[in-house]
Each structure stands twice: as structure tokens, then as C-alpha cells.
A and B are shown apart, each in its own frame.
Chain A
Amino acid sequence: MSLALSTLLYEWRRYMAAIVALAFSGLLVLAQVGMFMGIGKAFTATIDRARADVMVLAPGSTGLFNGGPSGVPRRIMPVVQSHPDVVAVADLDGSGGRWQNVVEGDAARKTEFVQVTIIDAVPGAVTVPTDYSNDLIEALRQPFGVAVDETALGRLGVKLGDKAIYNGKTVRVVAVTRGYPNMMQAGVVMSRDTLRMLGEANTGDRVGPLMVSTKPGADPEHVVAQLNAQSRGQFKAWTRAQLGEANQAAMFKESFIVIMLGFSLFLGILIGVAITWQTLRGAIMANIKEFASLRALGVSMGSLRAVVMELSFWVGIAGILASGVLTWAVSLLATSSGLTMAFPIPMVAGVCVMLLVIALASGFLSLGVLKKSQPADLLR
């Protein structure tokens, strides 16, 4: 085993501050990446878990609801339906409005804006997500029944069975969903019939995004290509996978995410370098006489520098491992509170490289203390 590695293992306490600093730098960035990716996943949950293999949106739109007009002219529906491989087409209607909980006694009154999406409350309908149980669908078939995700219950101040006021009309929470968190705005699901009874169903000549299911054995990419060939700029068809990816990518173009990530990256690097540098410096100083004795015996300064750089490399590796453990713990915690984090490999690899660069930069900065390894000082 090399001098650097055995020193790190044997005197790990001395290097702990650096390893912890690196671990937290990594966590700072990774936890946010994980959170945003997780939110992104949740954002696309309705896409990923849709029964439709093909979705038809307004040109330029990359999400079912998030921002911008996502719908298409109503007359597109028969055009899509007439494709030989298409089995079913349904528009995904939606609305939004003011939500108030009904409070008894001195409980907190909440007023929130909610986003409403619909399903056709029939098992197997193309608008019903694949993970909706028949019980859930049946519950939503009740007039004025709505489903709320478990992560939004607190925000909306309701629990299963509670009444609430939506746009001035009474609705009831008949089901609680799981796995559809939304950081931006609470979401509520109801049946198409309930939306109609509330008077908010779309009757104009534009409809929401189209959910399309294809024949078993048909190639959705093929269908998408053929539909797009006849779009004349009025719509764009996507496969479910394509839309999920585009949706997530679009989220990362949000400037506040870029700013937050950039700021954390900057902070993580700054703190990581400062602490790792000082720790390495201190640790080298603690062994400076030993280094000086090697200098006396003729070991070159370059060789000692290499030892320090190797040491910082191993500190970086240890920091990456510690960071992994911390991030894993945090993601468990997040999952248990209903927020799933996601860690795409390229992002994780990027953070690992960042930690290694921090460690090596710190090692480079602490090379200066080796000048203190004056072998003549050992002669007294």
C-alpha cells in the first residue's frame, strides 16, 4: 500500500474534516439535483403512467399542463382517430381554481389555487393512469368526488372524506392518490362528468392534449411519424417516452433551477476547497518532520508533491463515498415524506468529478506547506 493511502487509512481522524466537507458539498448539489429530478419525474408522472402510447399536443408544447397552450383544435380528433392503428382518442380536459377547506372549530382555513385534471371514470379508459386502481376509479365516479395526492393533503387542509369548496361549489375528497407530488401547485383529479357538472368542461373549438392508444403490436413511433406528417403545423404527436424526456428537459431550462443549482455548486466548491485545503495543510504539517527526513535521504520535492496529490486523490474518493452515503440517507428521508428523488447517472458522475476536482485542487493549494519540510531543521 502506498504511503499516501496508508496514511489516510491510519490517520483518518486527521482527514475527517476534509472528508465531511466534501461529503456535504456533494450532498448540497446532489440533494438538489435529486430533488429537481424527482420533481421532474413527478411532473412527468402523468405522462409516464398514462395509458396512452401517443399524445398529441400543440406545436412547441412539451408538457400536458405546465405553461403555454397545450391543446389542439377539436377537429384534429377525428383526424387522429382515423389513423388505422389508433384505437382510442380522448382529450385530457382540465381546469383550475380556488380551493378552500371546510373548517370546523378553530382549524386553519386554507385557500389555495389548484389545478384540476380529469379522467374518464371507466376502467381502461385512455385518460386513466395505469396505476389507478378500480376502486379509485369507482370512487371518482361519484358526482363531485375528487382525488388529492397524499403530498397535497396538508397544503389543502383536508383528509379523506372531507368536504371542500372548489370555485364556490362543494366537492368531497373521495380518494387519496400516491406518487403524484407537485411542488408548484396542488393538483386535484376528478371525473370528466364532475368537471361538466361544475360547469367547467371545455366546449370550445380547442380541446386539451389528446391521449391516444394504439393497437396492440402497432409501433407508436411509426404512428407518431405518420401523424406528424399530416399536422401542417397544427399539432405535434409524441410517443409517451419522447414526451416524458422532453418534459423533464424543459424543466431544467427553468432559470430559477439553474440559478439555485449554480449557486449551490459555487457554494459547495468554495466550502469544499476551503475546508479540504486547510485540513490537508494541517495534516501535512503534522507529518512535516517525516517528510523532511525523506528529503534528507534524497527523496525529491517532486516525489513528496506526488504523495500529497495522491493523498488528496484518496481524500476525494473517501469524500465521494461519504457523499453517497449521506445522499442515500437524505433520499430515504425524502421518500418517506412523499418526495421521491431521482439521480440520473450523468448528474451523479458529474458531482463525483466535481468532488475529485475539489480534493485535487485543495491538494494542489496545500503543496506550499511542503516548503516547510527543511531537512536542515532536523539537525539540531
Chain B
Amino acid sequence: MNPNTVTHGRAGTSAIDAKGLVKRFKTGRTFIEVLKGVDFDARHGEMTMVMGPSGSGKSTLVAALSGLLKPDEGRVDALDVDDLWDHSAGRIDKFRLDNCGFIFQGFNLFPAMNATQQVMTVLKYQGVPKDEARRRAVAALEEVGLGARLNQRPDSLSGGEKQRIAIARALAKDPALLFADEPTSALDGENGQVVIRLLRRAATEHGAAVICVTHDPRLEAWADRVIHIEDGRILDDQRRTPDPNATLGSH
């Protein structure tokens, strides 16, 4: 476990609570309603998986929960912030800087920076002193198994390794909320398994509330909870017992 990590909240307590989320997009002259009154909550120490077919509104939900895209209706209470969307853009940026980690399908790493610099950059913007930032970056990279790749740039790394840098970049912040949108879909089975296990660990060992969006049903094995969404509505919400040692066959 990352020695610098603080655990967030008590496992099982609510980390994020959203009510009545509605989001519409304008397409041509008509509006399409992508979220049709979604209630959602996620807890510390748990991996909450959001599953559903493509176009069902999963990503839009994550964007609304994490302060990236303002919903048209509804409210989001996250950690100690009541009604996140009632705050200024600057305050929401600060909330994300302090509390949120993101893992996207793409890796979005700066070509010019080596693994350590990628991770340090965000810490620097958090105001972490340089030496400590380096220490934490190295620890996070070791945690994702890249201890031997600290000085390598993205162009000399595989897709799986790049995604692990992105995870290290998210984890080094010790985020209380970790959002992952299709984190494995650009990866092969083996690398996908490494990534989902790291996310599982972020929940179990760091106490983060991990919200993972996927359309891959095989990832369910690692989840504490699986929420199915279709056409902007939640269909069902099941608790289950995660199996951290589950395996993912190749795609």
C-alpha cells in the first residue's frame, strides 16, 4: 500500500449522493434527454460499477457527478460539499483538484514528460512541495507496478503501462472519489485485469469511492455494487460480494 495514503471516510459511509439528475442535449432543433431523473449514490471503500449499453448515458452521469458537466436538473452532494453545482466554477475546480481522480479510456499523457513528471505535474498544482511530490509520484508508480519505468516517456511504453501511469496520476492525489470511464476498453485482457485490480485496491485499501463505468460485464466480478442504466434511467441496483482475485480472459 502507498505509505503516504490516508484512507477516506469510513468504509461504507456515503461519499456521493445525487438526486433527480436530468441532462438534455440539443441536437439540431430538438433536445434529447440523456439522463431522465437519475438518483445515484456511492460509498467510501466500494467499487460501484455503472453498466449499460453504449449511448445509455453512463458517461454523462459520471460527468454530472464529478463536476465536469452541469446537469439541467437535480443536485449532487459530494463529500462535505452540499449541492456541488450550486458553487462557482472555480470552487468546483478546487473540489476536483482536492478530491477527484479520473481514469479515461484514453490515457491523455503529455508526450514530452516521463512517467514521474506526468504524476508530479498534478501534485505540483495541488501545491505539494517538489520533493514530496517526487516521493509520492514514485510511490504511486511503484504501486501500479511501474517502478522500473519511472523515467520513460509515453512513446516507449505499452498501452497497459500508459493506463497505469494515468492511474498513478489519479492515485497520487489520494482522491476520495475515483471516476473511471471505460478504463479497460482500450486494453487487452491481461492489462485490463491489472487495471481493474488496481481500481479495486484503491477502494479496498485507500477507502476511495470508486465509480467505474463500463459496458464489459466481465468486470462485474470486482464490484461491490452494480447499477444498470439504460436510456437514461436506472434499471436495477444490485449489491454483490467482490472477488479481488477474479480473472479476466483475453478480449
Contacts and interface: CB of A to CB of B under 8 A. Distances in A.
Interface of A: 1, 3, 6-7, 9-11, 287, 289-290, 292-301, 303, 375-376, 378-380
Interface in B93-110: 93-98, 100-102, 104-106, 108-110
Contacts of B7: none
B87 to A, nearest CB: 13
User: Which 4 residue pairs spanning A and B have beta carbons closest together?
Assistant: A298-B97, A10-B112, A298-B96, A293-B108
A366 B203 CA distance: 40
A9 B97 contact: no
A298 B106 contact: no
B170 A297 contact: yes
A380 B108 contact: no
Interface of A is mostly: helix
B68 A376 contact: yes
A300 B110 contact: no
B112 A6 contact: yes
Contacts of B122: 294, 297-299
A297 B100 contact: yes
B62 interface: yes
Nearest to B169: A297
B201 interface: no
B55 to A, nearest CB: 10
Contact of A380 (B59, B66, B96, B111): B59
A1 B109 CA distance: 16
Contacts of B69: 376
Contacts of B106: 289, 378
Contact of A297 (B60, B62, B97): B97
A7 B93 contact: no
Contacts of A299: 93, 97, 122, 125
Given A9-B112, A298-B98, A380-B182, A293 B68 contact: no
Contacts of B113: 3, 6
B110 to A, nearest CB: 5
A7 B170 CA distance: 21
A380 B215 CA distance: 12
Given A3-B121, A10-B111, A297 B181 contact: no
A53 to B, nearest CB: 60
Interface residues of B, number: 38
Given A10-B112, A376-B63, 20 more contacts: A3-B117, A6-B117, A9-B112, A289-B106, A293-B102, A294-B122, A296-B68, A297-B96, A297-B122, A297-B169, A297-B170, A298-B93, A298-B96, A298-B122, A300-B125, A378-B106, A379-B62, A379-B181, A380-B59, A380-B181
A296 B102 contact: yes
A298 B108 CA distance: 15
A293 B104 contact: yes
B97 to A, nearest CB: 3
Contact of B110 (A3, A301, A303, A376): A3
A378 B112 contact: no
B124 to A, nearest CB: 9
A245 B11 CA distance: 82
B236 to A, nearest CB: 23
A303 B125 CA distance: 8
Contact of A375 (B68, B97, B112, B117): B68
A101 to B, nearest CB: 63
A298 B117 contact: no
B173 interface: yes
A205 B239 CA distance: 117
Nearest to B185: A380
A134 B96 CA distance: 84
B108 A289 contact: yes
A140 to B, nearest CB: 66
A300 B90 contact: yes
A111 to B, nearest CB: 64
Contacts of A7: 110-112
Contacts of A287: 110-111
Nearest to A295: B93
B191 to A, nearest CB: 19
14 contacts: A10-B111, A10-B112, A10-B153, A292-B108, A294-B121, A295-B93, A296-B96, A297-B100, A298-B100, A300-B90, A376-B69, A379-B63, A379-B68, A380-B182
Contacts of B111: 7, 10-11, 287
A292 B106 CA distance: 12
A292 B62 CA distance: 16
Q: Which of A289, A290, A379 has the largest number of chain B CB atoms within 10 A?
A: A379
